[in-house]
Amino acid sequence: MSSGGAGGGGMTDADSSLYPIAVLIDELKNDDIALRLNSIKRLGTIALALGEVRTRSELVPFLAECTDDEDEVLLAMAEELGNLITHVGGPSQCFCLLAPLETLAVTEETVVRDAAAASLKKVAAAMDAQSIQAHFVPLVTRLATGEWFTCRVSAAGLFAAAFQHLGSAADASQRSVLQEAFQRLAKDETPMVRRAVAQSLASFASAGDAATVETFVMPIFNHLASDDQDSVRLLTVGGAAELAKALSPEKAEETIFPAAAAFAADRSWRVRYVAGPQIAELACLPSSSAADGAAGGAGAAAQERNARHLVAPFVRLLRDGEAEVRAAAAAKVADVCKCVGADAALAEILPCVQELASDSSQHVRAALAPAAVAVAPLLGKQRTVESLLPSLLQLLRDEHPEVRLNVISHLEEVNRVVGVELLSQSLLPAIVELAEDRSWRIRLAILEYVPLLASQLGASFFDRNLNSLCLRWLNDDVCRVRAAATANLKSLAEVFGVEWALTNVVPDVLGLAKSPNYLRRITMLDALESLAPVLGPDATCQHLLPVALNCAKDGVPNVKFRAARALAAMADSQTETVVERSIKPSLVDLGSDGDVDVRYFASQAIAAL
């Protein structure tokens, strides 16, 4: 850019230095929202051009005046301001970003407020202790005492960011101010403010020490746990486990556990829905004996005794009247069983598992299936056979494919405990039904688990019952299923070995070469390409290569160019003599085919040789 010129046509150096901010001003005044949005997203580049001093003195104050715009633009501004920390001078100067972010934190649009709060936390994390005390704590206090509820909602999430920087005795007065303000918000008349407090309890607890949590956070937790709004209680219970981790094990057992039991009996099903996973997490927390470093066995026993206090409320959730609540708790059955020990699990939780296996809701049964399977290693063979296996077999016979699939996909754990012999009678019919399900996605899903089942069942059982099923998938009407079936054959060959594949798979696959349906011949070529790396050069040359060479002369162009790809793949394992005498001449012939696609794939194959 010229610094001057005849007739005043150029721009002076002074004008040039104002260029980035001038352009931004013009663009933000433009009626085109896309242009304004693009300008905001280039704030980092503009700040870099301006330098730290001018960014602090010109750009940031200008942005603080531009907070009356479309929500989409304000959202981008809230996000970008948090990325300007280094551009304004780093930790000692980034407090200048607080002003525009404070304005954005009180807007009516929730996503804008959330983005502004996230950027405020980012700025606070970069600020030094002096700036926190001088600028950030007053900002939080102003927001917490603001007239509009939006101010107070944003403030609730910022207390932890301010509190964790005030650890010295000199900061005691400011810590006290923050605590009092936070307590007022917990009793705010607006439910949305109390929800924000409940949501930030865990982060506030992590910012303080155990004494602060016990004397300050827990009274707020207990107050919100009895709030008349179920949305407040819902968020309160959601942080129970994190809050317990900030307490000593004794205090957690004394305060959080009774609250969790109360949540399990809450009048709102939404609260009970969240209580199930929280109780499971609380049950797995270390007990006071375990935390004190008790010997392995004694510590584990102490933890089991500790967790058993939560069995009764957990069982209540498993028998809840709402299916959503039962499903959420059922998914955590294995976690709770492992924490309470085999005896308590067998006596109190397994009866619920037996009931849920025939639950009226398929979603409950689907959630239960993988969790019930995971209980087997805890119980051992005899207890699994006597108490758990009947429920698993019932789930395997379930009318809904998702339930059966959830059992089969996690069956390896049961096999390790009881052996496949006890399962095979019910396992096979379930697999056959899934393999022939009307939904191709279900057929595809069970197909993907076949290699895992094969490794568990063994070759003899697989050959008797499932081998024909795998070959049948090659004739499926859905292309995705046929493609997965070819990959499945490769995995099976890797599990059972080359000799097994040559005896049990290859003859039937090669038989598809005579199918009148060209799609079956293409599937056969896909299978040959998948099997070739596993079978090795000799078997490939003897059994697979002649069929692929013959398909290169097929009357359907699609078969011919698929044969070209298969020949190129087989060439990787063959000797130079075989390539030069058999594969390359066939590809050269295809290279002069009348079909343009055949010629293209043939040229690609030749180039790959």
Amino acid letter at 561? F
pLDDT tier, 92 (very low <50, low <70, confident <90, very high otherwise) = confident
Classify residue 297 as exposed, middle or buried by CB count within 10 Å of its CB (0-12, 13-18, 19+): exposed
Map out the domains of the chain as residue ranges: 497-608
pLDDT band at 10 (very low <50, low <70, confident <90, very high): very low
Angle, helix 333-340 to helix 376-383, in steps of 10 degrees: 70
Give the model confidence (pLDDT) of 193-226 as tens digits.
Answer: 999 999 888 887 777 677 778 888 889 999 999 9
Q: How far is CA 413 from CA 26, 212, 377, 380, in A?
A: 66, 44, 7, 11
Q: Across residues 378-388, what is the average pLDDT?
A: 88
Please work out, in degrees rounded to the nearest 5, the angle formed at the alpha carbon of residue 28 by the alpha carbons of 26 and 34: 115
Q: How far apart are CA 327 and CA 276, in angstroms?
A: 9
Q: Which two tokens stand for residue 190?
A: 């607006």
Please give the full DSSP string across 508-553, using - where no structure is assigned: HHHHGGG-SSHHHHHHHHHHHHHHHHHH-HHHIIIIIHHHHHHHTT
Angle of helix 362-373 versus helix 401-408 axis, rounded to 10: 10
Q: What mean pLDDT do residues 541-562 have?
A: 88
**What's the average model confidence in pLDDT over 297-301?**
51
Confidence of residue 426 (pLDDT cuts 50, 70, 90): low
Comparing 62-76, 276-290, 326-340, 548-562, the range with the smallest average pLDDT is: 276-290
Q: For residue 100, what pLDDT band results from cuts at 50, 70 and 90?
A: very high
| Residue 466 pLDDT exceeds 70 | yes
Q: Name the CATH superfamily, with its identifier, for domain 497-608.
A: Leucine-rich Repeat Variant (1.25.10.10)
Q: Is the pLDDT of residue 296 over 70?
A: no
Examine the pLDDT at 594 and tell me if it is beyond 80: yes
Identify which of 90, 63, 65, 93 has the alpha carbon closest to the alpha carbon of residue 78: 63
What are 484's two structure tokens? 């997965």
pLDDT band of residue 169 (cuts 50, 70, 90) is: very low
pLDDT on residue 421: 66
Write down the pLDDT at residue 330. 96
Percent of the chain with pLDDT over 90: 26
Encode pLDDT of 225-246 as tens digits: 999 999 999 999 988 888 888 8
pLDDT grade, residue 112 (50/70/90)?
very high
Output the pTM of the full model. Answer: 0.70
**pLDDT at res. 295:** 43
Contacts of 148 (CB under 8 A, 6+ apart): 106
What spatial distance separates the first Cα and last Cα of the chain, rounded to whole Å? Answer: 55
Look at residue 435 and tell me whether its pLDDT is greater than 70.
yes
pLDDT-wise least confident of 67-71, 336-340, 494-498, 507-511: 67-71
Average pLDDT value over all residues in the chain: 83
